[in-house]
Structure 1
Amino acid sequence: MDQTDMLILAELSENSRITMKELGGKVHLTGQAAASRVAKLVDTGVIEGYSIKVNQAKLGCMMHVFITIFTNSHNHQPLLAFIQMQGHYILNNYKISGDGCYLLECRFPSNEHIDQFLDGLTEHANYKIAMVIKKS
């Protein structure tokens, strides 16, 4: 990987729908050269796929929270099953070390939905919650 590959990744991270001609212009390559570089990045596994960015607030999920989970037992399956059932609220689920066992990034439409989620969660684990005020 060289500086041009890093520029390509930065551009694709901003807009994965960019044409290869536009991408080439931004990184000082021809469209065909940019396409070849992108194909090589895909073939080597550097680019794993393309995705969309969803505006959760426009979907009505205004409440953005992080929940650190502290498990009560060594059997995490009931907790993980609960998390999977609540998947429509969960953006990311990380297994972590240090302060807690899991870190959930969630979006909820209201405080009432957060409260219902936390009521169910307490059957499986303890938690600490942090609410996002503003993304910088």
Structure 2
Amino acid sequence: MVSYPGIDEVDLRILKCLQEDATLSHKAIGQLVHMTGQAVGARVRKLQELGVIEGYTVRWNPDKIGQAVHAFVTVFMKSSTAHQTFQTFVQQKDQVVEMHRVGGEGCYWMRVRVRSSAELTDFLDELLKYGNYKVSLSIGQVK
């Protein structure tokens, strides 16, 4: 059951198609959801206007460009006044693929991709300026 105003089950099916392959044409999506390409295009524009679709991205394989180390880092801040400088630090670091401010264990959760354990160690050494951390290494992606 959809609870967001202006969104129906067909919109959700279109959104799922785009999530699986954003390069699909409106005509191809229309064939999957039993609509014309023009009707799909109108719904996609509506989803963009509503802010449901914020943009498009590409799936890629970091291992193919040498980013073989995939780490999950929980950050425990030293001080409540360090958050802004820490966030600025993270924005400047290409190694940080994703970061969330969290409740529960830790203050931030980061997903980090680097070429080697030495590069990860260097990054973690810099991180110590802001707080402590806990690291978990990915040994394989399941989903």
Q: TM-score, with normalisation over the residues of structure 2? A: 0.89
Match of residue 3 from structure 2 = none
- The 4+ residue runs of structure 1 with deviation greater than 4 A are none
What are the within-5 Å matches in structure 2 for residues 69-84 of structure 1? 69-75=75-81, 76-84=83-91
1:128 offset after TM fit, Å? Answer: 0.3
- Inter-CA distance 81–49: structure 2 relative to 1 (3 Å threshold): closer
Q: 2:48 aligns with which of 33, 38, 42?
A: 42
1:21-36 to 2 correspondence within 5 Å? 21-36=27-42
Q: Percent identity?
A: 37
Match of 2:141 in 1: 135
The two structures have a TM-score, normalised by structure 1, of: 0.93
CA distance in 2, matches of 1:45, 1:102: 26
**What SS does structure 1 have at the residue aligned with 2:85?**
helix
Question: What is the aligned length?
Answer: 135
For structure 2, which runs of at least 5 residues remain unmatched after alignment? 1-6
| Ranges in structure 1 where 5+ consecutive residues have no aligned partner | none
Over 3 Å counting, the alpha-carbon distance change for 1:53 and 1:29 in structure 2 is same
Determine whether 1:102 maps to 2:108: yes
- For residue 93 of structure 1, give the secondary structure of its aligned residue in structure 2: strand
Distance 1:5 1:69 in 2: 38
